[in-house]
Amino acid sequence: MTLGTPPYSPRSVTILGSTGSVGQNAVELIDYHQGQFTVEAVTAHRNVALLAAQALKLRAKLAVIADPDLYPSLCQALAGSGIKAAAGEEAVIEAALYPAELVVAALVGSVGLKPCLTAIERGAILAFANKEVLVSAGDLVMQQVKKNGATLLPIDSEHNAIFQIYDPHQRDHIRRIILTASGGPFRTWSREAMAAAQPDQALRHPNWSMGAKITIDSATMMNKGLEIIEAHYLFGLAAAKIDVVIHPQSIIHSMLEYEDGSILAELGAPDMRTPIAHALAWPRRMSSTSSKLDLLTIADLQFFAPDLVKFPALNLARNCLLAGGAAPTIMNAANEIAVAAFLARQIGFAEITALVDQALNKIPNCALTSLEDILAIDFATRQTTLALIKQT
């Protein structure tokens, strides 16, 4: 642990997915704490201009663009800087191999599985935002974390909140985790109005500023479904001990209830820079550029039960967790395809969750024993879901 005793040596960091919402916030915080961090590698999907600017600003050793067609542009942007440029999926895995103490896992989707496993296999600390990886391959990922002495630090605000108040020695005395959910942009909409919602309406999240995929997941509440599964793996609690409550203000980021009746909560402004700063500095603390919470302005905190009829994704996810095997993998892959199709205006809003349900009915559940099994089911589900979309 390089951040153990003063004088602290800089912590080495790699950011997988540096141009996304979480990645950009991580870059901002690292830049804000000049001298506290060194950067091994940054990777992005297609945003070459921002990736190159980040690599130059942070003086990274390696910059990787996942789309190989963009390799010449990256080389050009980094010419003369001494920063190594690389492209393609294998190069993203190479970035995860660079010897950073902490890897910010901020890719979107199960595409992050191999890079995350690579960082886990070398025992890194993962500041973990890529929840689809835990949903798609939770058993395998947690086995590898244990086997290799790696650490998962949740960046997802709910799980980061639980992590901050969770005492692993008292796990048997936890009555339940209470994940809070804003309810998304359609909390007060009718089912009919929701069914006709357009991408720009679904992308207007009331509280959080996030990427497109997670914002659509918030609108269907599949995001909270994914988070139930994420919480199960991170904290080792059964599905029955993970509850969801609607809290439209997003001030309480989640709660933990112990059997003696105590409920512990973490509060803050809805600003991802707080959990990202917490993970980057852990087990220490550092200042953050995030907004501050003024308690006097939040006198009215509300809590409601989720509407499971309007948001069927919540129970769908819970049932997949209970079913186990390939069900969560199928659910996640079908959802990734369905969300992309909605954003491309190929399907309506109500069809997102309906398609996930159809994919789950069409593909038989089975046990997953290896990475190859997971990748095969993930691929087959994508093909099946694309075929289902063509039929609509």
Give residues in contact with Mg ion (CB under 5 A): 156-158
The residues, ordered by sequence, that sit 6+ positions from 317 with a Cβ below 8 Å of its Cβ are: 222, 224, 225, 226, 228, 229, 328, 331
CB of 248 to Mg ion, least distance (A): 15
CB of residue 86 vs Mg ion: minimum separation in angstroms? 31
Q: What angle do CA 10, 14, 16 make, to 5 degrees?
A: 155
- The smaller minimum CB distance to Mg ion, of residues 86 and 155, is found at 155
Percent helix / strand / coil, the chain, rounded to 5 = 50, 15, 35
Q: Name the residue with the smallest CB distance to Mg ion.
A: 156
Give the long-range contacts of residues 52-59, CB within 8 A, separation 24 or more: 52/77, 52/78, 54/15, 54/18, 54/19, 54/27, 55/81, 55/83, 56/81, 56/83, 57/27, 57/31, 58/27, 58/30, 58/31, 59/83
Taking the complex as a whole, the smallest distance from the CB of residue 157 to Mg ion amounts, in Å, to 5
For Mg ion, the closer CB: 22 or 355: 22
- Helix (H, G, I), strand (E, B), or coil: what is residue 152? strand
**Integer Rg of the chain from CA:** 20
CB of 158 to Mg ion, least distance (A): 5
Closest CB to Mg ion among residues 156, 336: 156
CB nearer to Mg ion: give 101 or 230.
230
Query: Which residue, 65 or 129, is less far from Mg ion as judged by CB?
Result: 129
- Cα distances (angstroms) measured from residue 63 to each of 48, 101, 121, 173: 10, 17, 21, 45
Least distance (Å) between residue 324 CB and Mg ion: 23
Cβ 200 to Mg ion shortest distance, Å = 22
Nearer to Mg ion by C-beta: 24 or 157?
157
Coil, strand or helix: which one is 341?
helix
